[in-house]
Amino acid sequence: MDLKFELIWSYLPLLLEGAKLTVQLTVFAVAIGTVIGLFVSLLRISNFKPVSWAAKIYVDFFRGTPLLVQIFLFYYGVPQLLGLDSMSRHMAGIIALGLNSGAYVAEIFRSGIQSIHKGQMEAARSLGMTYPQAMRYVVLPQAFKVSIPPLGNEFIAMLKDSSLVSVISLPELMQSGRMVANRVYRPFETFILVALLYLVMTTTISQFVSYLERVFGKDDHSQ
């Protein structure tokens, strides 16, 4: 097979622009998902059943339906529901990715919180802390350390899943790869390069997560 990577190199800046947008979408989605996930995880462990059920419905919906359907829902369905002409592709992509990430992060944080021994909360309360104070200063910091590896996995998964926003023509890395492949008629070389760019990004995130694990691990050993 005659491979012609030299035809693709001239389009590398376009692919790098797509990779930049991919990273931006992922960062926004995970940031939104982390905030939502923390809040929802606290609702999930609440003793007030209606609140806990509402949080469970949110988690089950976004974990139990395809992300592709959710993207279409926010890009095509929500504007119709709200009586709008349209929603920007960037906004629809970020909202869909962020809400999807929030459901997975909520379960990560919930598992992390529940992994902390109940004695930690009891000890904090016996020292005069209120429940919110004990959760904020004692339980959540420990739960966050436990949650670092799965949060890193979620970041990587979201970076790869962000390729699905190409279906609404957002020019992230996958969509940029399609554009290049259509121009040069060399899909194999194009998507090999796209795959390598994804690999560089996911490997970088993996190394960063490993670094965080070592840092927080040192803190634990020093105590």
Instruction: Give pLDDT tens digits along the chain (223 positions).
Output: 566 777 788 889 999 999 999 999 999 999 999 999 999 999 999 989 999 999 999 999 999 999 999 999 999 999 998 888 888 999 999 999 999 999 999 999 999 999 999 899 889 989 899 988 999 999 999 999 999 999 999 999 999 999 999 999 899 999 999 999 999 888 898 999 999 999 999 999 999 999 988 887 765 545 4
How far is the CA of 209 from the CAs of 29, 36, 196, in angstroms? 17, 21, 20
End-to-end C-alpha distance for the chain, whole angstroms: 59
User: CB–CB of 148/213 below 8 Å?
Assistant: yes
Query: DSSP state, 75?
Result: I
pLDDT at 83: 86
The three-class DSSP label of residue 130 is coil
pLDDT of 199 reads 96
- How far apart are alpha carbons 203 and 31 in whole angstroms? 20
Contact criterion met (CB below 8 Å) for 119 and 153? no
Q: Which two tokens stand for residue 3?
A: 């491979």
* Alpha carbon distance 154, 196 (integer Å): 20
Domains, the chain, ranges and CATH? 6-222 (1.10.3720.10)
Q: Residue 128's CB: how many other CB atoms inside 10 A?
A: 8
